Structure formats: structure tokens, C-alpha cells
Chains A and B, each alone.
Chain A
Amino acid sequence: MKIIVPVKRVVDYNVKVRVKSDNTGVDIANVKMSMNPFDEIAVEEAVRLKEKGVATEVIAVSCGVQQCQETLRTAMAIGADRAILVQTDEELQPLAVAKILKALMDKEQPGLVILGKQAIDDDCNQTGQMLAALADLPQATFASKVEVADGRAKVTREVDGGLETISISLPAVITTDLRLNEPRYVTLPNIMKAKKKQLDIVKPEDLGVDVKPRLKTLKVTEPAKRGAGVKVPDVATLVQKLKTEAKVI
């Protein structure tokens, strides 16, 4: 079976972003970009399934600007076999990405699509669920363990009180949580090999998908700043301040 892994190019998770002074968005010019951390976990899981003989081919997909090719090369260096870039300069929202992925699913007929649970830029946590809905497939979100056997996937999910295990029929959509696996380091020889792998570029129009944003961002602002705190010299002062000044205990 084929596995499709959608990956997103986002601002590196260590970067503290700044809001633009005209409040139109955050300033991402000249900021380090990388693959969304949850997507790395998704690629790793797909590659492990291939190494176990469950999957035959792993296809990495990214939607967005031309530079997303770098993200796809990283996915191929981890072990994806080939890649597809759906290139557009439009701002893409989860519903549009889910529609693009649905169109690619129709074409490629994968047995599984593995996505990250959320992207660390828009913090939406929607695309996987939306894709499952559009394709009318079962979903297993926030996965911390995946076992594929007999046309079904047994997935352990991270839920609020602890863990929950469900069984879903394939094809299906899975989204990864942090503890699913530890993504491997990309080695130099594999980076070189990834350069030779196939990377196709298509446009959303070729897939018949309208990617116009549905939500309008009116403004992006800085969150309220916290007032400067104080350092206390010892535990006694701390307790006294909590009791008399902050009155929280």
C-alpha cells in the first residue's frame, strides 16, 4: 500500500516570532523555516511502516510556495520515495489543503495518509480531520502508537484523561502526536540521494481545487504583556508575598 505524508514548511519552532507593526501578520521575512515538527514524526512513521514491509511507497506532499521544495527534499532524505509540490502563492487554509489532499488521494489511492496533528504556525489542528471527512474515511487523531494488520489500523490515541485505543478500517487518515516516534537524523549521503528523487509540481487549478481563503484575518496583534515580576530572596518572602500581595493562597 501507498502512504501519503503531507508536510508543511513553517517558521522554525525555536524562533520567537514578532507581530508586524502594521498588524497585518507576523514578520517571517528572513526567519529560519523548517519542517513542522509533527510532520517529521509523520514522515518517520511512514518510513518505518515501509521498513516493516507494510507500505510499498511513501509519497511526501507539500502545498504552498516554491520554497516548500526544501521541505519535501528533507522528507525524501528521511526516506520518502517521491514528492509532490502543489505550488501556489495564495494563503492556504486547512480546508483548502484538505481539498487538495483529497484530490491527490483520488489520484494516488493510498492506503493511509499520515499527517501531523497540528502545524505550529496557525495552531489549527484541522487538516487531517477535514481530509478524513471529505474522503469519507475513518480518522485516528493524536496517535502515539500505530499497528497495521489485516486491512485495519489499531491506533493508540492521546486523549485528555490518558490513552485510548481504537481500531479503524483502511484506507484511513492518521494524525501524529509527539510521542509516536523519534524522527531520525538526516544524514549527508541521504540528503544527496534525496536530490535525485522525483519531485512533481502541480497547481491547485490542475487538481480542480479552489483555494481561496475562507476566513479573513482582520488584524494580528501582540498578546497582552505581563507586568514585570520580582525576584524574591527566599521561601519565607515568597510565601508572605503570595499571602499578602497576590492573595492566592
Chain B
Amino acid sequence: MASLVIAEHDNQSIKPSTLNTVTAAAACGGDVHVLVAGANAAEAAKAASQIAGVAKVLHAEGAQFEHGLAENMAAQVLAIASNYSHILFPATASGKNIAPRVAAKLDVAQISDITKVDAADTFERPIYAGNAIAIVQSADQIKVITVRTTAFDPAAATGGSAAVESASPVADSGKSSFVGQEIAQNDRPELTAAKIIVSGGRAMGSSEKFHEVLEPLADKLGAAIGASRAAVDAGYAPNDLQVGQTGKIVAPQLYIACGISGAIQHLAGMKDSKVIVAINKDPEAPIFSVADYGLEADLFTAVPELIKAL
């Protein structure tokens, strides 16, 4: 049977998290179909049809999908769910919001944040903030899954030529409505997709210092900026920059942790990075136990020096 991937998109283009999810879906065996539910989302559906390995794109069109409200999105997925053996969402804020709703309506267990597909019914997922990996087997007819995007390579965004079919849209549930949003302005690469991440913790001291010290380094490296929970809670950085168990999970080529002690919850979000650099003046900081390169120094002198040396 086929797998269904719920695309994440902005109605114009497909978000990168969808590409990683397509790879995970392909690993489950069978054809891969993609559902694009949105408002004026023809462009996004077209983009989805070009993803390598996708056999069919289902396009559900309607104003009720514009902001991805869980009630409407889940109903749309349920309308076509019976045709699939696997239904996969990226483990993003949106995927996590909708997937359990779909699973409960189907009366099946949902499998969160998988990092590996061992077999069509067996998956690996981290538990306890990534301190253990559970291998779980599902006996359910339909497997509803969220995919940890950093654990799967992205499928090529071009090269495919899937047919786009329109799916009949479900009606608006009327139970919820969108009021507004505040999206942080950001010219940098997206945190979860960045090759290099420069991250700051409580030791940054203030919001001004956070930007003043980290931004030039990020600019120099073409990096995204991240933050620990301590830095977010102290108001130094907006919360969508938080890396960790309850924030974003990242796995860049290079992760530079500046003034971050390395609590379990933070490590859970970044320890799969290829190379980790820690700059911290406390020689006992736990971050040094996972860092490939540790520099014991005051970040306010080390970071400017680093910028100069690059």
C-alpha cells in the first residue's frame, strides 16, 4: 500500500521539512503520495509534483486550510486516510499539532519523531530527551507517524513528475478560527535547515550583547542563530530560536555553542550535529563532554577573535 505525506507549505512553495519526510515515506515501502491542502496552493502542489520519488499529489483547495488549523487539516487527511498504510507528517509545530488528531480518530497509536525506519512496521525514536532510543513495532492497520527531519536526507526537490489530482475539500469545522500571527523577521537561513548554527546561552548577558556578538559571527559563516532555553527565558532571544528537547531539533554540519552550559534538555536538540564547538569559560561545563573542539575562554573576547581569524 501507498504512503501519504502531508506537505508543509506556504501555498507557494514546499517547505524543506516535507522533503525529508518524503525520504522517510519511501523507506516505508510502496508509492509515495503527497497531500497539499491550502488556499490558492496550486503553486505549492506543482512544486510537490516535482519532488523526486513522489507518485501522486493530492491538492485540496479551500480558504479553511489557509492557516493550517488542526481541526480542518485533520478532517481532510481523514477523508482520504483509508487508502494508505502509512501517513507521515514532518515533526514540526504543524505536524505535531495535526498527526495525533488523525491517529486518535483512526483509533491507532501515533509514533512521534521517528529517526529511522527499520521495517514497514518497526521504527526507532528517541525518548527521555534523546538519552535512549526505543525501537517500537506497530500492529495498527494505518501507521500515523511524525518524522524527525534531521534524521532523514531531503529528497531532491526536482526531477519528479507526479500527476496532480484535486481532492474534494472537507467543510470548515467552525470550531476554531485564525486571529493573527507574529512571524519573526529573519534573513538568515532557517534554523532547522542551516549547515552552520551559532548559538548563545545565558552567558550572553543581554539581548543587545546577544545580537552584537553573535550576528557578525553568523554573517561571516552564513549561519543561522540559535539559543538555549536560558537565553530565551531571559529575553535575550525570541523563542523560535530555542534549540533543545522542547524547542527545535537541529543537526547541522557545524554547531558553535557560545556561553551554553549544556543541560540535558539543550543537548537533546543538537547532539547529532556533525561537529560541535563549545566556547565557555567554565572548564566543568557539561557541553565540553559532547564538543569535538572545546575552547575554554571568555566568549566576549573569543568570538570577536574568531570573527577576525575567519
B67 within 8 Å of A by Cβ? yes
Residues 101-126 of B, flagged 1 when their CB comes within 8 A of A and 0 if not, give 11111011111110000000010001
Q: Which residues of B contact A165 (CB under 8 A)?
A: 178-181
| Smallest Cβ-Cβ distance to B255: which chain A residue | A248
Measured CA separation A131–B104 after assembly (Å): 8
Q: Which residues of B contact A226 (CB under 8 A)?
A: 271, 276, 290, 292
In the complex, which of the residues A117, A144, A167, A179 contacts B177, with contact meaning CB atoms closer than 8 Å? A167
In the complex, which of the residues A17, A178, A242 contacts B128, with contact meaning CB atoms closer than 8 Å? A17
In the complex, which of the residues B71, B98, B126 contacts A123, with contact meaning CB atoms closer than 8 Å? B126
Residues 1-25 of A, flagged 1 when their CB comes within 8 A of B and 0 if not, give 0000000000101101101000000
With both chains docked as a complex, state the minimum distance between the C-beta of B249 and any C-beta of chain A, in angstroms.
Answer: 10
Task: Check B132–A235 contact: CB distance below 8 A.
Answer: no
Q: Which residues of B contact A138 (CB under 8 A)?
A: 71, 173, 175-176
| Smallest Cβ-Cβ distance to B221: which chain A residue | A249
Measured CA separation A151–B238 after assembly (Å): 31
B254 within 8 Å of A by Cβ? yes
Measured CA separation A140–B71 after assembly (Å): 10
In the complex, which of the residues B98, B138, B239, B293 contacts A230, with contact meaning CB atoms closer than 8 Å? B293
Task: Check A161–B184 contact: CB distance below 8 A.
Answer: yes
A-B CB pair tally, cutoff 8 Å: 255
| Smallest Cβ-Cβ distance to A182: which chain B residue | B233
| Smallest Cβ-Cβ distance to B178: which chain A residue | A166
B281 within 8 Å of A by Cβ? no
Measured CA separation A232–B105 after assembly (Å): 54
Task: Check A123–B104 contact: CB distance below 8 A.
Answer: no
With both chains docked as a complex, state the minimum distance between the C-beta of A203 and any C-beta of chain B, in angstroms.
Answer: 21
Q: Which residues of B contact A163 (CB under 8 A)?
A: 181-183
With both chains docked as a complex, state the minimum distance between the C-beta of B278 and any C-beta of chain A, in angstroms.
Answer: 8
Task: Check B137–A223 contact: CB distance below 8 A.
Answer: no
Q: Which residues of B contact A69 (CB under 8 A)?
A: none
Task: Check A162–B71 contact: CB distance below 8 A.
Answer: no
Interface residues on B, range: 35 or more
| Smallest Cβ-Cβ distance to A248: which chain B residue | B254
Instruction: Given A138-B176, A249-B254, answer yes or no on A239-B112 (Cβ-Cβ < 8 Å).
Output: no
Task: Check B292–A218 contact: CB distance below 8 A.
Answer: no
A159 within 8 Å of B by Cβ? yes
Task: Check A238–B295 contact: CB distance below 8 A.
Answer: yes
B62 within 8 Å of A by Cβ? no
In the complex, which of the residues A123, A144, A218, A241 contacts B127, with contact meaning CB atoms closer than 8 Å? A123
Residues 76-108 of A, flagged 1 when their CB comes within 8 A of B and 0 if not, give 000000000000000001110010000000000
Task: Check A216–B276 contact: CB distance below 8 A.
Answer: no
| Smallest Cβ-Cβ distance to A235: which chain B residue | B305
In the complex, which of the residues A13, A134, A169, A246 contacts B104, with contact meaning CB atoms closer than 8 Å? A134
Residues 125-149 of A, flagged 1 when their CB comes within 8 A of B and 0 if not, give 1111111111001111110100000
Interface residues on A, range: 35 or more
B135 within 8 Å of A by Cβ? yes
B97 within 8 Å of A by Cβ? yes
| Smallest Cβ-Cβ distance to A124: which chain B residue | B112
Measured CA separation A178–B53 after assembly (Å): 38
Task: Check B100–A133 contact: CB distance below 8 A.
Answer: yes
A236 within 8 Å of B by Cβ? yes
A198 within 8 Å of B by Cβ? no
Highest count of chain B CB atoms <10 Å: which of A124, A125, A133, A178: A133
Instruction: Given A214-B140, A229-B294, answer yes or no on A161-B135 (Cβ-Cβ < 8 Å).
Output: no
Q: Which residues of A contact B71 (CB under 8 A)?
A: 138-139
In the complex, which of the residues A14, A216, A230 contacts B137, with contact meaning CB atoms closer than 8 Å? A216
With both chains docked as a complex, state the minimum distance between the C-beta of A132 and any C-beta of chain B, in angstroms.
Answer: 6
Task: Check B128–A129 contact: CB distance below 8 A.
Answer: no
Q: Which residues of B contact A238 (CB under 8 A)?
A: 277, 293, 295, 306
Task: Check A129–B97 contact: CB distance below 8 A.
Answer: yes
With both chains docked as a complex, state the minimum distance between the C-beta of A137 and any C-beta of chain B, in angstroms.
Answer: 7
Q: Which residues of B contact A74 (CB under 8 A)?
A: none
Measured CA separation A239–B93 after assembly (Å): 36
Task: Check A121–B128 contact: CB distance below 8 A.
Answer: yes
| Smallest Cβ-Cβ distance to B110: which chain A residue | A126
Task: Check A232–B294 contact: CB distance below 8 A.
Answer: yes
B291 within 8 Å of A by Cβ? yes
Measured CA separation A98–B53 after assembly (Å): 36
Instruction: Given A17-B128, A220-B135, answer yes or no on A125-B100 (Cβ-Cβ < 8 Å).
Output: yes
Task: Check A248–B132 contact: CB distance below 8 A.
Answer: no
Q: Which residues of A contact B122 (CB under 8 A)?
A: 218
Q: Which 3 A-B pairs have the closest CB atoms?
A: A129-B100, A130-B104, A214-B109
Which A residues are within 8 Å of any B CB, using their own CB?
11, 13-14, 16-17, 19, 26, 38, 93-95, 98, 117-118, 120-134, 137-142, 144, 154, 157-169, 172, 177-179, 214-223, 226-227, 229-232, 234-236, 238-239, 241-242, 246, 248-249
Question: What are 10 A-B residue pairs whose CB atoms fall within 8 Å in the complex?
Answer: A16-B131, A127-B100, A129-B70, A129-B99, A133-B103, A139-B176, A178-B246, A216-B136, A217-B137, A229-B288
